[in-house]
Structures are given as C-alpha cells and as structure tokens.
C-alpha cells in the first residue's frame, strides 16, 4: 500500500528501524538527553525563541488541543474560535465542555478567513483566540498573519493548532506572537501516532502557572517541571519519542525546516500540476502544502477512495460526515516521492479510461 492520507503517514527507514528495536528503560541520563535535544530542535523549527518551552504529551493531537484549553483558559476568559470544519468544531466542543465562554466564527467549507470576519470583534473584551492554522478536513490554510495582527492589536492570547502544517508551511511562532503551538507525531513529523508536541511562549508559561488544571495526567505544570530535566511525569510513548529524535536530527542535517517545507511544496505542486485533466476540482480557497482537497465532479468521493484502496493498493484520504461523497484529500506529508504520485495519477487515469470517473 502507498499511503497518501494525512496521518498516520509513511515513515522513512531510519524511523522505522527504531520501531523494530526494544523499547529502552527511560529514567536514565541518556533518555533525558534525547528529550532535551528534542526540545531544542522543536524550538528551532517552530522559531519560538529562547524563552519558550516544549512539552511532549503522550496522546494524539486532539489530546494536545484539550491540554492547551485545560491548562490556560478559565470561565473568566472570552474566546474567539474559527470553525471551518471538523477540527474547528473540535475546539468548539472542547470550549463548551470546559465551560469557556466563546464566540464562533463559522466558515463555509473551503472558505478562507478574511479581515471582514474579524472586524466585528475588535475591542470587544475578548481575551483569547483559537484557530486550526490549517483546517485539514477541508484543506483550508488560514491567513495566520491576519490572525496574528488581530491578536496583537487586541492583546489576545493565541492558541494555534498547527497539527497538520508544522514542517509543511512557514510558521514563525515568536514573530507571530503565538502563545501555544500544537502538533502531533503522525502528521509531517512522519512518526507513529501517540505524541502531541506543544510549544509555549513566556506568556503561556505564566498562564499555566496561574491556572488550575483539573486533570492530573494532562497537567502541564507537572509536564514542564519534569521536562526541565528531560523527563515526563508518567511513562511516555518512549519508542515514538526516540523516533521523533531521529527524524528531527535528519531534518536538521538536511537543511532544516525551510528545506523540509520546500520538499513538501515540491510534492504538492508536482501532484497539483498533473491532475488538471481529471474531473476533480480543488475545493479550498487557500491551500497548504500538506494536502490537496478535491471534489470529484462525476462520482462519489468515497467510492473513489474505496476503488483506489481495493483495486490499486493505495490510500487516499476520505472525508467524513456531510463531506463523505463530495470531498477526498490527497496528502503530501510523510515519506513520499514523485514516483509515488505517478502511480496515483496513473490509477486516476485508469479509472477515467474505464469510465468510472
Ligand atoms: C490530525 C489533526 C488533529 C487531530 O489529531 P489526532 O491526532 O487525530 O487527535 C487536530 N487538528 C488538525 C488540524 C489535524 O490535522
């Protein structure tokens, strides 16, 4: 199978080799050193500045989203949340569950966030802004500079889910004034699922200090205290943290985050240029390098997903809910080459020749 989904994605050989090894005992100086190295490299790639800190939580990306809310927001906050699809909806559900007052900016699927959406909320006493930088469900990449300017003007605490775009599109956490950045091990980090990586600005660290987290397992005070010496309060996904270490060092050796973003952009452009004669429409107003969201004009998107899986041995990424039949996505993250895309494009052409699409 070739995997063109948006996570879990394909891992390279060095990462896979670690997966075949025994999982080592971790309360050691060696593991601490590896964890501190992970923190240094994540800060370097997130451009989060000297004073920022990192926590590695053993949970998926959604766990990172909930951890951010539980450790920094309270019912005294007044949040703005962008909801343009299923990941925006997840933030809405979390804010509701944790009783944080919020206003939702609801966007139609595929639509970009514009200045006019933010204008009504200037100087209205808001304290916090939450956004999925890339709404992976519809492939809309929001204008983070627009959001950053708005937050700076209004003094808002900014929580950014970069789960699908960390390492695929530029993100300068310190310059943007973002306070929390969240990503997951199974997206562009291209490791197995199981670790949420979170980066905190000094302002976020202060909020964490001042906020009572009503969950021991996800308490960031404990996580950050332990990470000072490269440890975690509980047994983490040790094997995945070792795989993340190998992957981060490789990226660093091969030109850093810029080179990795360029590599992903090249794959995305290669694919996008070669599907112009297929009966698919790109549905997003603003694309990330991470994924191409497509609307097939002749047949159900889900039926194409099934055909490609069952008859051609490849996974493209289906959509759920109301978008099941209208959108499928092709990812550009993970260990993929242009030769892999040639195979996928050939399969699409075969389906076209057979009159299926
Ligand atoms: C994948 C993803 C998540 C959720 O990640 P899980 O690891 O499935 O919990 C959250 N937000 C965005 C933008 C994502 O792409």
Query: Closest residue (by CA) to atom 12 of ligand 1?
Result: 163
54: closest CA among 259, 152, 45? 45
Ligand 1 center from residue 28 Cα (angstroms): 31
- Check residue 111 and give its pLDDT: 96
Name which CATH class applies to 256-353.
Answer: alpha beta
Whether 278 and 67 have beta carbons less than 8 Å apart is answered as: no
Distance (Å, whole) CA 287 – CA 83: 17
How many beta carbons lie within 10 A of that of residue 153, not counting itself? Answer: 11
Strands 195-200 and 53-58, by their bridges, are: antiparallel
pLDDT in tens, the chain (357 residues): 999 999 999 999 999 999 999 999 999 999 999 999 999 999 999 999 999 999 999 999 999 999 999 999 999 999 999 999 999 999 999 999 999 999 999 999 999 999 999 999 999 999 999 999 999 999 999 999 999 999 999 999 999 999 999 999 999 999 999 999 999 999 999 999 999 999 999 999 999 999 999 999 999 999 999 999 999 999 999 999 999 999 999 999 999 999 999 999 999 999 999 999 999 999 999 999 999 999 999 999 999 999 999 999 999 999 999 999 999 999 999 999 999 999 999 999 999 999 999
Would you state the pLDDT for residue 272? Answer: 98
**What CA–CA distance (Å, rounded) separates 64 from 184?**
8
What beta strand segments (E) does 4-52 contain? none
State residue 130 phi and psi, 5-degree precision.
Answer: -120, 135
Residue boundaries of the structural domains of the chain:
13-253, 256-353
CA of 132 to the centre of ligand 1 (A): 9
| CA pair distance 131, 71, nearest whole angstrom | 17
Yes or no: say if 78 and 127 are a contact pair by the CB < 8 Å rule: yes
Distance in angstroms (rounded) separating the CA atoms of residues 287 and 169: 10
User: 271 near 342, Cβ under 8 Å?
Assistant: no
Number of continuous H segments (helices) and E segments (strands) in the chain: 13, 15
* Ligand 1 probe mutation, 61, 84, 135, most atoms within 8 A of CB: 61
> For ligand 1, which residues put their CB under 6 angstroms from it?
7, 60-62, 87, 132, 134, 136, 161, 163-164, 184, 187, 193
Question: Atom 3, ligand 1: which residue's CA is nearest?
Answer: 61
Ligand 1, residue 60: give the atom nearest the CA: 7
> pLDDT (tens digit, 9 = 90+) per residue, 19-51?
999 999 999 999 999 999 999 999 999 999 999
CB neighbour burial string for 272-301, b if at least 16 within 10 angstroms, e if fewer: bebbeebebeebbbebbbbbbbbbbeeeeb
The predicted structure's pLDDT at residue 120: 98
Tokens of 55: 């926590």
Closest Cα to residue 225, out of 239, 212, 209, 213? 209
Per the DSSP assignment, residues forming a β-bridge with 159 are 130, 180
Distance 164 CA to ligand 1 centre (A): 7
> Could you tell me the sign of the dihedral formed by the alpha carbons of 131, 136, 138, 142, in that order?
positive
> Which ligand 1 atom lies nearest to the CA of residue 63?
9
Assign a CATH topology to domain 13-253.
3.40.640
| Global pTM value | 0.98
Each residue's pLDDT tens digit, 197-238: 999 999 999 999 999 999 999 999 999 999 999 999 999 999
DSSP secondary structure of 82-140:
EESSHHHHHHHHHHHHTT--EEEEE--TTPPP-HHHHGGGTTS---EEEEESEETTTTE
């Amino acid at each position: 199978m070739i995997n063109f989904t948006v996570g879990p994605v394909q891992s390279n050989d060095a990462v896979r080799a670690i997966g075949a090894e025994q999982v080592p005992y971790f309360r050691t100086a060696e593991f601490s050193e590896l964890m501190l190295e992970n923190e240094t490299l994540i800060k370097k790639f997130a451009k989060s500045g000297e004073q920022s800190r990192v926590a590695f939580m053993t949970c998926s990306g959604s766990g990172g989203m909930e951890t951010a809310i539980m450790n920094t927001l309270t019912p005294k906050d007044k949040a703005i949340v962008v909801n343009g699809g299923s990941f925006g909806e997840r933030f809405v559900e979390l804010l509701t569950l944790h009783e944080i007052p919020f206003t939702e900016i609801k966007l139609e699927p595929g639509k970009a966030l514009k200045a006019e959406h933010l204008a009504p909320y200037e100087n209205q006493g808001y304290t916090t802004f939450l956004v999925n930088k890339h709404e992976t469900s519809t492939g809309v990449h929001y204008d983070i500079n627009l959001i950053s300017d708005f937050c700076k003007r209004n003094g808002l605490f900014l929580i950014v889910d970069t789960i699908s775009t960390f390492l695929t599109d530029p993100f300068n956490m310190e310059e943007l004034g973002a306070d929390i950045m969240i990503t997951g091990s199974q997206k562009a980090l291209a490791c197995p699922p199981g670790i949420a990586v979170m980066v905190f600005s000094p302002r976020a660290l202060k909020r964490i200090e001042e906020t009572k987290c009503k969950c021991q397992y996800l308490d960031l005070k404990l996580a950050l205290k332990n990470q000072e010496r490269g440890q975690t309060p509980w047994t983490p996904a040790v094997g995945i943290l070792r795989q993340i270490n190998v992957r981060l060092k490789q990226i660093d050796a091969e030109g850093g985050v810029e080179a990795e973003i360029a590599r992903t952009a090249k794959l995305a452009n290669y694919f996008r240029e070669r599907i112009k004669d297929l009966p698919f429409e790109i549905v997003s107003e603003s694309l990330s390098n991470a994924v191409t969201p497509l609307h097939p004009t002749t047949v159900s998107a889900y039926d194409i997903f099934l055909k490609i899986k069952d008859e051609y041995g490849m996974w493209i990424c289906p959509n759920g809910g109301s978008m099941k039949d209208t959108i499928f996505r092709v990812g550009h993250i993970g260990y993929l080459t242009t030769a892999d895309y040639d195979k996928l494009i050939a399969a699409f052409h075969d389906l076209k020749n057979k009159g299926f699409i």
